[in-house]
Structure formats: C-alpha cells, structure tokens
Amino acid sequence: RSSDRNQPMDIDAGATSGTLDDRQPTVLSGGVTIKQGTLHIEAGQATVSTRGGDPVRAVLTGGPVRLRQQMDDGTQMNAVANKVDYDLTTEIVVFTDTVRIQQPRGSLSGERVVYNMRTGQVNSGGEGNGRVKMRIVPRNAGTTPAPGGG
C-alpha cells in the first residue's frame, strides 16, 4: 500500500556485519526478512546502505528473493527474483534474473523488471535483458491466479 512508506521498517537477519553508520553498508545474511506495513520481503542476504541513519537502499540476493505487498485496491502482489534492488527514496524496485510478478489479474515474468511503487509504473526488458512475459487471467476465472505460464 502507498501508506507502507510511513510504517516502521523492521529488519531481522541471521547475522549482521558492519555498523549502522553511513560510511559502509551493513550486510545481513543467514536469512533476512524485512517488514514495513504490508510489504514483506524475504531474501538470503541483504546489503542495506543508510544515510543519516535511515535505510535508503537495500540490495537483496540469494535463494529467490520473495516480496509480498498488498495493493491499494486490496489485491495481493507477490514477486520472486534472484536479485532485488530497492531504492527507498525513489521507491523504485528493480527485479533482475528470472523475475516473476504474480497478481490476481495476471502474472509478469522476465529478466529485468523495474517497478515504481509510487506510480505503479512497470517497465521491463529492453537492452537485451531477455523476453518479458505477462499473463492476464480472464476476468471470471476465480481467485487464484493460474500457475505457471510465461
């Protein structure tokens, strides 16, 4: 939801290294979960860089990174990718490497997807980043999105 931004973000991880100051980013590993409002991210490893004590950018990798968030219209969005680069200031998330975004109305997959959480704008592919595939489920096809496809 757009209100997630004002929610507190709590991050827990198996292990952390580095300090919370701005000079060098902290590396969280051993299974990281980030929660902020309805936004819920799980990843193998995360590198969070902060500015002025606030996290400004998180780069998550390892085992597929899973991201779940509830849209303003109440529908659920799930995304899976091998690497997620989340810039909290511009609220632009860049998914790369076997990306799959799942929404009740359909799913999108590709090699590189840029998702602007504030405008909902989705850009994908381009510059040789493989094919983008989107599946739109027919309007009356019941709740669970059709698996697979794309």
Which of 3, 17, 119, 144 is the binder for another protein (CB under 8 A)? Answer: 119
Tell me if 61 sits within 8 A of 82, measured CB to CB.
Answer: yes
Determine the interface stretch with another protein among 6-14, 42-50, 87-95, 130-138 (rule: CB under 8 A). Answer: 130-138
Alpha-carbon distance 59 to 75, whole Å? 25
Applying CB under 8 A, does 63 fall inside the site for another protein? no
Nearest-approach distance from CB 60 to another protein, in angstroms: 22
The two structure tokens encoding residue 77? 């969005």
Nearest-approach distance from CB 125 to another protein, in angstroms: 4
Closer of 21 and 73 to another protein (Cβ): 73
HEC profile of 44-101 = CEEEEEEECCEEEEEEEEEEEEEEEEECCCCCEEEEEEEEEEEECCCCEEEEEEEEEE
Alpha-carbon distance 48 to 60, whole Å? 8
Alpha-carbon distance 39 to 77, whole Å? 10
Closer of 15 and 141 to another protein (Cβ): 141
Determine the interface stretch with another protein among 28-36, 47-55, 90-98, 139-147 (rule: CB under 8 A). Answer: 139-147
Which of 56, 80, 94, 137 is the binder for another protein (CB under 8 A)? Answer: 137
Which residues form the interface with another protein (CB under 8 A)?
105-106, 108, 110, 113, 119-126, 131-139, 141, 146, 149-150
